[in-house]
Amino acid sequence: MNEQQGVFKNLYKNLMTPILKNDSGIDAEYLTNLSLSLLSFSSRKYNWPLVSSILKNLNEEFSVIDKRLSQNICGINFCNPIGLAAGFDKNGNAANIWKDFGFGFAELGTVTKFAQNGNPKPRLFRLAEEEAALNRMGFNNNGAENLVKNFLEQGIEFKKNRDNICLGINFGKSKITSLSQAKDDYLTSLELLIPYCDYAAINVSSPNTEGLRKLQDPILLKDLLRAIKNLPNCPPLFVKIAPDLSLKDIEDICKLIIEENIDGIIATNTSIDRLGLENRKIRQTGLLLSEENGGLSGKPLQKKANQVIKDIRNIDKNIILIGVGGIDSPESAWERICSGASLIQLYTGWIYKGPQLVPNILEGILKQLNIHQLSNIKEAIGSDLKWVK
């Protein structure tokens, strides 16, 4: 590690970690928006000499490059299996620079047809001791047209003209749109953004938009997916599902995925299950977690999200899976991959552990590949291999 490497890790440790050790203090959503403002500026001014120099150092500190980590999935080249999960960069404000944090891809959104403010505040809460979060954001975003504008302002080219940025876009239903009109809502957003996205994630599982999870019903989901598949130049499609589905529900969705030739599943979204934390008090509101609306994410979700990956793998080994939920260490990342995930995504764990989590996971995966004498990460997917210290 050269002199300049380690700077950003230490900066995060000294500035952010003390804040993240407490439920109260600086509001979680305010902190997220402040971070995004800085990242947005850097993404737009990428070619400024000072910004360029900082991002170069950032890239050197957090990137791990090794061909054993690379895969081609659905015709998309992923330089490594770690992605930024949807929900952090809803408006694509930092689309240009996620690669500099070491990510192999980033999933932007959730984006909706109409700009919307989301649910009333406060709507994002830290559960510091559990390294978890409760959110009921409600798809707050500036709309699909604004996302196109953000891409243009950052110089993000059509996917066919770029090879250094891998972007997925997560699509949801606008709150003001009825379920009967949901299909048109999704289609409008996709038509605008297909030229920019390497893959599309169809979000039918957020607990924070009323009625949205009803779209996981096989009949409604089939109608939606068929319409999307018929769009010109439709990208690879992944359906994002909830962790709270029954095994029968999961089986029905898998059957639909296979029948309709959908590329894969993202498992999972946040959970409405309180996962043993029902009596945990939210300090900002004074209410118990069992009394609060919203989805739970982070470490408490780890076991449940991993089980969903295993369940899908047991149903059909050919469904491509992106694992997300509670991944916060090299061990949990390796477990998710060996349970059946071809790719994994980080959000809450990345916030608590800091940006060093990405290279730590990648270096950990490489060590396991060496220990198990595997030539590429693909050989670990669904292998049930254990983490070896």
Mean pLDDT of all residues belonging to the chain: 96
pLDDT at 15: 94
For the chain, the structural domain boundaries read: 7-380
Give the residue numbers marked as catalytic.
206
Q: What percent of the chain lies above the pLDDT cut of 90?
A: 97
17 is in an annotated binding site: no
Task: Inform me whether the pLDDT recorded for 244 exceeds 50.
Answer: yes
Q: What are phi and psi of 329, to 5 degrees?
A: -165, 165
Whole-number Å distance between alpha carbons of 222 and 253: 9
Return the amino acid letter for 259.
E
pLDDT at 161: 84
Q: What is the pLDDT of residues 108-162, one digit of tens each?
A: 999 999 999 999 999 999 999 999 999 999 999 999 999 999 999 999 999 988 8
Stretch (H or E) spanning 148:
helix 144-154
177 is in an annotated binding site: no
Q: Does domain 7-380 have CATH number 3.90.1300.10?
A: no
pLDDT at 5: 59
Q: What is the pLDDT of residues 290-321, one digit of tens each?
A: 999 999 999 999 999 999 999 999 999 999 99
* DSSP structure class, residue 271: B
249 is in an annotated binding site: no
pLDDT band, very low/low/confident/very high, at 1 (cuts 50, 70, 90): very low
Whole-number Å distance between alpha carbons of 47 and 55: 10
208 is in an annotated binding site: yes
Tokens standing for residue 251: 């089986």
The pTM is what? 0.97
Q: Is 67 exposed, middle or buried (0-12, 13-18, 19+ CB in 10 A)?
A: exposed
Interior/surface letters 10-43, b for 16+ CB within 10 angstroms, e for the rest: eeeeeebeeebeebeeebbbebbeeebeebbebb
110 is in an annotated binding site: yes
Say how far residue 189 (Cα) sits from the centre of its chain.
19
28 is in an annotated binding site: no
pLDDT at 3: 46
Whole-number Å distance between alpha carbons of 261 and 263: 6
Q: What is the pLDDT of residues 5-49, one digit of tens each?
A: 589 999 999 999 999 999 999 999 999 999 999 999 999 999 999
Task: Inform me whether the pLDDT recorded for 229 exceeds 60.
Answer: yes
Task: Inform me whether the pLDDT recorded for 4 exceeds 70.
Answer: no
Residues 344-361: what's their mean pLDDT? 98
138 is in an annotated binding site: yes
Whole-number Å distance between alpha carbons of 348 and 351: 5
87 is in an annotated binding site: yes
